[in-house]
Structure 1
């Protein structure tokens, strides 16, 4: 059975108290092209049990990802480290905001254990923003990377990090741990930052991605945006140019889906043909890999995409 999943969380706790005073905005009816299968396969349940047994948090659950049924049915899970509470309150995000708890010193080993049990060839590690920590959690990222390397050396590792704003030296700590892919999402065009991503700075994020390549040119870099937040087409094309100026290899473009009536409204649903156009233009601008579709998310098909990314770079070098 195919159903239209709602991204509103089933968690009845006051998940977003910081948004309580925001006016309600209507939830637009989703078009036919945003349809996914309801989760529930035996492998999905097995994945869920491994995550639960290891006491881990996944962005798949916390962000209400529409692809969770597909990914977990293939034992693909994106681990969200450093807790389930973020120090920022972005208008698009479904992750809880507040004062986070202390870091779990055993978490790196727990993640590595789950990666081994799931048999992951490629794993994506992301986190909440931890502005409360002196290094923004950079050392914890590095410990998780090294724990996975020690437990399953053949597993390739992709990190999706915060911006480490005003945390000198933090980026260098993560890069030194040598993930295979360094991902940091811009999320939206600069004109929307004040309302969509107020705690971040667009050009700081561009510089972060550029700095990764300066520190280690062999690392793949990746960034993603959501569309349907009210951006103009020419702004998206300029963003592509900004990312290419930072030598970013991989771009993802997906449809923004409103988690609740208290979140930023969906301005419109971008059509599949428009996504195809974004993909064509992005490749023409020089990205090695592009994923652009209504249900594209940063870690969706990440393993397959990494193989394609590596093949594309090899082909470029041979040429």
Structure 2
């Protein structure tokens, strides 16, 4: 029987968060310093815009996921807290500011994401390229992970970004195919899957990564089928985390997935052949990204050693 996703609150109180999803409010001095740096450089972060529950932990460690191309998205996904509307002009100084932030924070690894910019001819691809180039120049020892939009109907945009050679190319499938019409209506599941497959075909040395949220009404078997699709596209790294409803206007939480179920997803994913699987209630695309990148490299080296 097909489960219908309830997109908005029906007047009933929200489900209370279980203990494993409760986090402390950020108060550390380093957190405040990181926030000030982002303000001074006029940079947006997905940590703030998407109301990430891990912001206190990550910013205390000077880990911030920079969101380029503004803070207004041209799409309106049912799970996302970022504002929707027409994007502002692209900031020509943004790539340099991102590089300055990476240098000031002393980052070994940085994650760059963006809003969807369907209004731009290249979907914002050239800005990703310029940010990567600026980082390579100003922070040559910093490894670069990008979390991109899908560049739908933007011929040549994906290839442009691949040519810039980020260390990790991330694009999230977000949910199972059945829920796309209600949860991610502006995107297409198989287009996103092909995007990641194309990255590997053009440059196999780039690590590919994708993630899904659970607790939106998906079935466990559907998540496993998504894993199979990802492996068919040679995706290296899978992340799975709990969906949290940002406001009453967004899709409601169908259920809170238990920590034991996340362990099960991790075990299944590893058995299917991913180089790395991160699965926990608080897992997000860029959570512990630096440490995970080191694990990715080690896993690839171990895999290649077996083939020698």
Q: Deviation per CA, 1:164-196: give whole Å up to 9, x if none.
A: 011111100100110000000000000000000
Q: Give the SS at the match of 1:60.
A: helix
Separation in 1 of the partners of 2:137 and 2:14? Answer: 46
* 2:269 match: secondary structure: helix
Q: Name the structure 2 match of 1:90.
A: 77
Q: Residues 24, 61 of structure 1: CA spacing in aligned structure 2 closer, same or farther, 3 A cutoff? A: farther
The answer as to 2:241 corresponding to 1:278 is no
Q: 1:189 aligns with which of 143, 151, 176?
A: 176
Q: C-alpha separation between the residues in 1 aligned to 2:281 and 2:143?
A: 26
Deviations 1:184-241 (A, max 9, x none): 0000000000000000000000000000001100000000000000001100000000
C-alpha separation in 2, matches of 1:72 and 1:87: 27
SS of aligned partner of 2:103: helix
Which residue of 109, 125, 150 corresponds with 2:112?
Answer: 125
Q: Indicate the SS of the match to 1:225.
A: strand
String of CA shifts for 1:285-309, please: whole Å, max 9, x gaps: 0000000000000000000000000
Aligned to 1:74: 61
TM-score (ref. length: structure 2): 0.96
- 1:6 maps to which residue? none
Which TM-score applies when normalising by structure 1? 0.92
Contact 1:253 / 1:291 at 8 angstroms: preserved in 2? yes
Offset, 1:23:
6.0
Q: 1:301 maps to what in 2? A: 288
Q: Which 4+ runs in 1 deviate beyond 4 A? A: 21-26
**Total equivalences in the alignment:** 299
CA shift for structure 1 position 40: 1.1
C-alpha separation between the residues in 2 aligned to 1:75 and 1:224?
23
For the 8 Å contact 2:8–2:251, the answer to whether it is kept is no
CA contact (8 A) 1:24 1:261 kept: no
**Long gaps (5+) in structure 2:** 1-6
Cα distance in 1 for partners of 2:273, 2:283 equals 20
String of CA shifts for 1:266-318, please: whole Å, max 9, x gaps. Answer: 00000000000000000000000000000000000000000000000000000
Deviation at 1:28, TM superposition (A): 1.5
Task: Provide the secondary structure at the position in 2 that maps to 1:191.
Answer: helix
Preserved contact between residue 27 and residue 258 of structure 1 (Cα < 8 Å): no
Q: How does 1:133-148 map to 2 (within 5 A)?
A: 133-148=120-135
Superposed CA offset, 1:18-53 (max 9, x none): xxx966564211011102121010110110111010
Q: Superposition RMSD on alpha carbons, in Å?
A: 1.1
Question: Residue 3 of structure 2 corresponds to which residue in structure 1?
Answer: none
The alignment status of 1:39 with 2:39, answered yes or no, reads no
Deviations 1:91-126 (A, max 9, x none): 000000001100000000011001100110000000
Unpaired segments ≥5 residues, structure 1: 1-20
Structure 1 segment 1-319 matched on structure 2, within 5 A: 26-319=13-306
CA distance in 2, matches of 1:28, 1:261: 12
Is the Cα contact below 8 Å between 2:217 and 2:254 reproduced in 1? Answer: yes
